[in-house]
Amino acid sequence: MAVDRTRLPEPGPPLSCNFPEVRRRTLANGLRVCTIEHHEVPLVTCFVLMPIGSSQDPGHQPGLAAITGDLLDEGSGDLDALAVHEALGRIGAHLDTEIGADATLLELTTLEQYAPRALELLASMVWNPRLDPRDFDRVRELRLSRLVQLRDLPPAVADRVFTQLLYPEHPYGHLPIGTEEALRALTIADVTTFHRRVYTPKNATVIAVGDASHDRLAALVAGAFGDWASPEGVDTDLVDVASLDAPPSPAGRVVTVHRTGAAQSELRMGHIGLARSTPDYHALLVMNMILGGQFVSRINMNLREEKGYTYGARTSFEFRKGPGPFVFQTSVQSDVTAEAVREVLAEIKAIRGGRPVTAAELELGRAALTRGYPRNFETAEQLGRAAVQLALYGLPDDYFTTFVPRVLAIDEHDVTRVAEDHLAPERLLTVIVGDRDKVGPTLEGLDLGEVSEAAIA
């Protein structure tokens, strides 16, 4: 049969997304447990969520939360560091530790048959790590070396400078890895005290997803974590980032970091954005899709597909417990750095009203978020990460089922309004990591505030 190539087939209506049931219980020690059944593949994935991110670092100790998280798998209980990994390796388990601004997240995936052993190892790491001084010393050396290497990686330099300048004197004002000075000053006693204070069952949520019943998953978690007792007389209060005032928002400025002979300029442009709890969350997601959140967004189409300046460009809002950054990021050919910056500034201004979002753009932005939504819930890992979001940000249980209708309720006016309210072209911090000799002279006349140069921290 000859097909009709004169028009594209219409996809069907958006498919509803039934997020599987999440069952919750709290153990006697205060630890919260979430279970989700997922019987597709004979695996179990287990997350331990500790709301201990780099924002919990004491002010003079940036990097403490991250090195503590890093030391969890360096020996626990009866097992030294190598024995822990030997035990994980023999059951083919895969362990991953992530440390962000708001949380430390451990993820362990294993064949269902080995889940009891895997969870036992995971629990032991979290509440009974050895925190041996020799391991601390070795891990700290590796982190210091990593910091040295990151000085040569333009995206890492740009992220560091952007973060530090955007959030002065604020818990979000440093990267999780911390600084060389702070790492050198840390001792194992700092780590031990920190771990004892904040790694408590009351702070922890364990999410188990996989090929087992709710009861079995819950029993596995209870068996592994049930004996974790809160230390007596320890202050377990965490810094409440959400209640802190955001740093003042100064006028826009441009900061360059010199890199001799760089083939490209690494760019960041942005300002402090919003917390995860903002009522404008869904409208901002739609607005960002149109501005720079996907391939066919205004900014990527402009910088990549029309001008060929870059391999790709995007914007994002990082919604955290407290107000996270709004940031544009790309890497552009050195000789068009100023043009790229100018175009992005123009796009940010335009979506606030100069060239408001069209009906077609709105439809595309909403459709990209809603029609593709089911694919976010295919694997045990994805389901577990979704439950992590619920737990970390205190979202309601029907969050995933109400997502699609809430996005579809956003209209052009909402998009323009949140762009006006939450994008601030006059307050943009612009960071350029590139060759001063190629880029510097072209930055004259940019309407982005004072231009200065920073050294690589």
Encoded tokens for 237: 């209060």
| 178 vs 59: CA distance, rounded Å | 11
Residues 6+ apart with CB under 8 A from 30: 200, 201, 202, 230
Residue 447: strand, helix, or coil? coil
Residues 6+ apart with CB under 8 A from 410: 282, 283, 286, 362, 366
**Phi/psi-derived region of residue 131, left when phi > 0, alpha when psi is between -120 and 50, beta in every other case:** left
Closer residue to another protein (CB): 91 or 238: 91
Encoded tokens for 207: 């999410």
Minimum gap (Å) between residue 347 Cβ and another protein? 18
DSSP one-letter code for 102: S
Neighbouring-strand partners of residue 23: 35
Minimum gap (Å) between residue 132 Cβ and another protein? 13
Minimum gap (Å) between residue 116 Cβ and another protein? 16
| 76 vs 351: CA distance, rounded Å | 53
Closer residue to another protein (CB): 68 or 203: 68
Minimum gap (Å) between residue 207 Cβ and another protein? 17
Amino acid 285 reads L
Inter-CA distances, 453 with 153, 327, 364, 367, 431, Å: 18, 20, 40, 42, 9
What is the dihedral sign for C-alpha 284, 286, 287, 293?
positive
Closer residue to another protein (CB): 228 or 373: 373
Closer residue to another protein (CB): 94 or 355: 94
Minimum gap (Å) between residue 311 Cβ and another protein? 4
Minimum gap (Å) between residue 408 Cβ and another protein? 12
Closer residue to another protein (CB): 10 or 398: 10
Encoded tokens for 283: 């409208």
For β-strands 429-434 and 264-272, DSSP reports them as: antiparallel
Closer residue to another protein (CB): 19 or 199: 19
| 221 vs 120: CA distance, rounded Å | 9
Minimum gap (Å) between residue 1 Cβ and another protein? 5
For β-strands 253-258 and 429-434, DSSP reports them as: parallel
Closer residue to another protein (CB): 195 or 259: 259
Counts of helices then strands in the chain (DSSP H, E): 16, 14
Minimum gap (Å) between residue 163 Cβ and another protein? 20
Closer residue to another protein (CB): 16 or 402: 16
